Every structure is written in structure tokens, then in C-alpha cells.
Structure 1
């Protein structure tokens, strides 16, 4: 069975965040882009930090992957699903769409 992830629309993510639903938001954009703005509560994820994420995050914690436009996050989400996470999501539209729709929900 191929590990799978699900697509997550920005409206649902905003609802989950407002409900303070337990989840791990990971942003795979480059460090400068992340520093300039990201979804509150997200952590930057790259090749140097991914092992710690996999080791320290319980497998039943939903993981939401964010990239620029929602494309690269699909590959990363699929890979994370293969690492044993039960629920992995790729944010549709990525950070660019999120920031456009919800400029008040960007941490800088």
C-alpha cells in the first residue's frame, strides 16, 4: 500500500487553528521566505530538521505541510506519510494563497 496524504483547503486549516486542534504545521519553503512570513504555529522543516520531527512527533499527530503554492508539499506529505504518520495533509494553494486570503493570519 502506498502511503497517502490528503489535500487540505485553507478554510479548513483556519477552522482547525481557531479550534486549537492539535496538529503539527511544517513549512518547507526556504529559510528566508519562512522568516519573512509564515502561518502562526508552523515550524520550518528542511533536511537538517526533518529527522527530529519524525523522531519527536507522535505518529497520531496530524501533520500539515506548507510550501509556496501547494505543489512541493505534496511530495513532502507523501514522504512523511511513509515515515509512519497516520494523518498527513498538503495545504492546497500553499503559503502564497494563505497569505493572500488571510493576511491577518501571517506571523512575521
Structure 2
């Protein structure tokens, strides 16, 4: 299993239409607290086990990092854990914040 790339406009469309996705943010706690995509949850080494256990394998997972680099490794790891659809957000939170400053939650 592998992950797919997702662009910001597609993620926005999915959120607008209420598509069920598990949106996870792997940035550090301070950065997440200062701003994140509404509906996302922070994922780190402590919380990832619970996330994997609690999240249905068929639910699409979108991984967000700063610029879309680290999220690729995390997405590949989650795909190996058995999630059917895993995406890495290209451009990361930085691109999202630039395009949709009104859709950032602190």
C-alpha cells in the first residue's frame, strides 16, 4: 500500500462537501496551537497508536505538515498500517494558510 498526493483545492472541495476524512496534522504542538485546518487533529508519537486503533481503515486519511515533505513519510507509514486511502497534502499547512487564511483555526 502507498499514499497519494492531494492538492489544497481538492482538500477544500472535500471539506466544503462534508466528505468524511480523518485530517491529521503532524506539526509540533505550538505550531498546531497557533493555527491549523479546522477539523484536524494533531498526531504525534504518543497519540498515533490510539489514532490507528480508533480510526476505521476505510476512512480516508489526509496528513498535513509544514510544507508537504514530512507528511509523505507519515502517510506512507499510515498506509502500511492498513488504511485504504492515505493522502499527503502538497504544500502543507503553509500553502493552506496562504490560500485560505479565513479557514485557519487557532
2:30 corresponds, among 29, 32, 37, to 32
Write out per-residue CA displacement over residues 83-103 of structure 1, whole angstroms, 9 at most, x where no aligned residue: 000000000000001000100
In 1, Cα distance between the equivalents of 2:23 and 2:8?
13
Instruction: Please state whether the residue corresponding to 2:96 is helix, strand or coil.
Output: helix
Q: Superposed, which structure 2 residues align to 1:63-82 within 5 Å?
A: 63-82=61-80
Question: What runs of 5+ residues in structure 2 fail to find an aligned partner?
Answer: none
| Cα distance in structure 2, aligned partners of 1:21 and 1:14 | 10
Equivalent residue, structure 2, for 1:104:
102
Match of 2:87 in 1: 89
Report how many residues are paired. Answer: 106
Which secondary structure state, in structure 2, belongs to the residue aligned with residue 35 of structure 1? helix
Name the TM-score, length of structure 2 as normaliser.
Answer: 0.99
Look up the SS of the partner of 1:21 in the other structure.
Answer: coil
Unaligned runs of 5+ in 1: none
Structure 1 stretches of 4+ moved >6 Å: none
Over aligned residues, Cα RMSD in angstroms? 0.4
Which residue is equivalent to 2:13? 15
Q: Deviation digits for residues 15-61 of structure 1, max 9, x if unmatched?
A: 00000100000000000000000000000000000001100000000
Matches of 2:95 and 2:16, distance apart in 1: 18
